[in-house]
């Protein structure tokens, strides 16, 4: 079993609650990655709701998750023909750490018009891109990330001219991407501001939304994350994820706080 499937596994306790275990394998520093704990809730939804795959999922991060047991309390809010809605709370001890609201669907059954005005970044194949680990944290070990050649100087201290990362990514253990795992990939890159300014602080997520558009085909995912507006220490990060056949598979947006660790206050 893949590390992702093992570490997001949940066991049903009763009609409304599931048990999971937050492992340290997805830590960024001492804190489990938000996309990882969101994926655990996402997996509970696959069992609790009438439809199998995320369509759009929103998470508010109320407090830091800790390594260890977690309970997921899942509420089915409404079941429609094509979409089911649910809410989940991730609890550790007596404290709620994350609140998730979700619409689930059967992605294979979606049909309707197409009209696309934008496309994936112009990128050479992963074999021509640069494996790199900007953050050198436990979390990074789970992924095989290949940055575009334009990022070759970044690890030596060069800075890009804008707050954007573009790279291929997949699980290092070869587990293929599916709709559920897109909840993780949407939060699996260094903050886009680090492309412009280097590793200058920490950037905790307040709230994250992931729209899933399609089941990814096997292979690397081509990911673009960009920040345009850092105001009063708050920044959005917009993600676009394509699969290896250049189908758009997900859009994401988060609001994060930009902090310098020494003071806990905003930096730059």
Positions in the binding site for a second copy (CB under 8 A)? 55-56, 58, 60, 62-63, 77-78, 83, 85, 87, 96, 99, 101, 103, 110-118, 162-163, 193, 196-197, 206-207, 209, 211, 213-214, 227-234, 236, 248, 251, 253, 255, 257-258, 265-268
Structure tokens at 198: 């280097």
Q: Which is nearer to a second copy, 129 or 163 (CB)?
A: 163
Least Å from the CB of residue 194 to a second copy: 12
Q: Which residue has the tokens 């570490």?
A: 7
CB of 97 to a second copy, least distance (A): 10
Q: In the bound complex, what is the minimum distance in angstroms from residue 3's beta carbon to a second copy?
A: 30
CA angle 58/217/133 to nearest 5° reads 70
- Cα–Cα distance for residue pair 72/172, rounded to 1 Å: 27
Q: Which is nearer to a second copy, 51 or 142 (CB)?
A: 51
How long a stretch of residues is the chain?
Answer: 268
Query: Least distance (Å) from a second copy to the CB of residue 16?
Result: 16
Contact 210, 57 (CB under 8 A): yes
Q: Is 252 left (phi over 0), alpha (psi -120 to 50) or beta?
A: beta
Cα–Cα distance for residue pair 102/186, rounded to 1 Å: 15
- Looking at the Cβ atoms of 113 and 174, the one nearer to a second copy is 113
């Amino acid at each position: 079993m893949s590390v992702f499937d093992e570490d997001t596994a949940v066991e049903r306790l009763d009609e409304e609650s599931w048990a999971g275990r937050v492992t340290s394998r997805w830590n960024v520093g001492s804190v489990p990655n938000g996309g990882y704990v969101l994926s655990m809730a996402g997996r509970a939804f696959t069992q609790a709701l009438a439809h199998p795959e995320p369509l759009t999922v929103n998470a508010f991060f109320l407090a830091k998750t800790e390594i260890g047991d977690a309970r997921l309390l899942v509420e089915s809010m409404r079941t429609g023909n094509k979409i089911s809605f649910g809410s989940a709370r991730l609890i550790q001890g007596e404290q709620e750490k994350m609140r998730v609201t979700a619409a689930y669907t059967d992605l294979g059954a979606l049909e309707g018009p197409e009209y696309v005005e934008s496309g994936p970044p112009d990128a050479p194949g992963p074999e021509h891109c640069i494996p790199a680990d900007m953050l050198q944290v436990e979390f990074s070990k789970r992924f095989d990330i290949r940055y575009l050649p334009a990022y070759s100087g970044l690890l030596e201290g060069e800075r890009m001219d804008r707050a954007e990362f573009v790279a291929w990514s997949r699980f290092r253990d070869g587990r293929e991407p599916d709709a559920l795992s897109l909840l993780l990939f949407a939060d699996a890159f260094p903050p886009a501001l680090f492309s412009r300014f280097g590793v200058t602080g920490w950037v905790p997520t307040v709230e994250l939304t992931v729209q899933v558009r399609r089941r990814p085909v096997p292979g690397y995912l081509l990911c673009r994350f960009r920040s345009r507006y850092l105001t009063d220490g708050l920044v959005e990060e917009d993600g676009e994820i394509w699969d290896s056949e250049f189908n758009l598979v997900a859009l994401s947006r988060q609001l994060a706080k930009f902090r310098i660790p020494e003071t806990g206050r905003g930096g730059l």
